[in-house]
Amino acid sequence: MSKKRRQHNPELKAKVALEAMRGIEPVYAIALRHAIHPVQVSQWKKELLARLPEVFARKPDAEIAEVKAREDELYRKIGQLEMQLDWLKKS
C-alpha cells in the first residue's frame, strides 16, 4: 500500500525557511525538530531567497483595484461592441 505524501502549510514552510536562512542552527537540526527531510529545508530556503524580491516589487492595493476596475470596464465595452456587431450582421 502506498504512503500518502504529507502536505505542509505555507506558514510552516516560511518559518522553517527563515530559520534556515538565519543560519543559527544547522539544516539537519532544523529538519529534525520539525520532522522533515533536510533536503526539503534547503529547497524551501532556496525558494524563499528566489521569491524575496517579489515582496518588495508588489504594486500598492489601490493601484491594483484601479487596474481591475479599468479591466472590467473594457470587458464590458467589448461585450457591448460584439453584440452590436452581431446585430448589424443580422440586419
- Provide, for the chain, the percentages of residues in helix, strand and coil under a 3-state DSSP scheme, each rounded to the nearest 5: 80, 0, 20
Give mean pLDDT, residues 67-74: 94
Q: Are residues 29 and 53 in the same domain?
A: yes
Q: Are residues 63 and 39 in the same domain?
A: no
Q: Residue 51 in contact with residue 37, Cβ under 8 Å? A: no
Domain that holds residue 91: 59-91
* Whether pLDDT at 60 is above 80: no
pTM recorded for the entire structure: 0.61
Identify the CA nearest to 28 among candidates 41, 12, 18: 41
**pLDDT for res 59:** 66
**pLDDT for res 71:** 96
**pLDDT for res 45:** 96
Give mean pLDDT, residues 45-64: 84
User: Which CATH number do you get for residue 4?
Assistant: 1.10.10
Q: Are residues 54 and 64 in the same domain?
A: no
Q: Are residues 2 and 41 in the same domain?
A: yes
Q: Are residues 47 and 65 in the same domain?
A: no
Q: Residue 50 in contact with residue 42, Cβ under 8 Å? A: no
Q: Are residues 70 and 50 in the same domain?
A: no
Residue with the bigger pLDDT between 56 and 8: it is 8
Confidence band of 44 (pLDDT split at 50, 70, 90): very high
Confidence band of 5 (pLDDT split at 50, 70, 90): confident
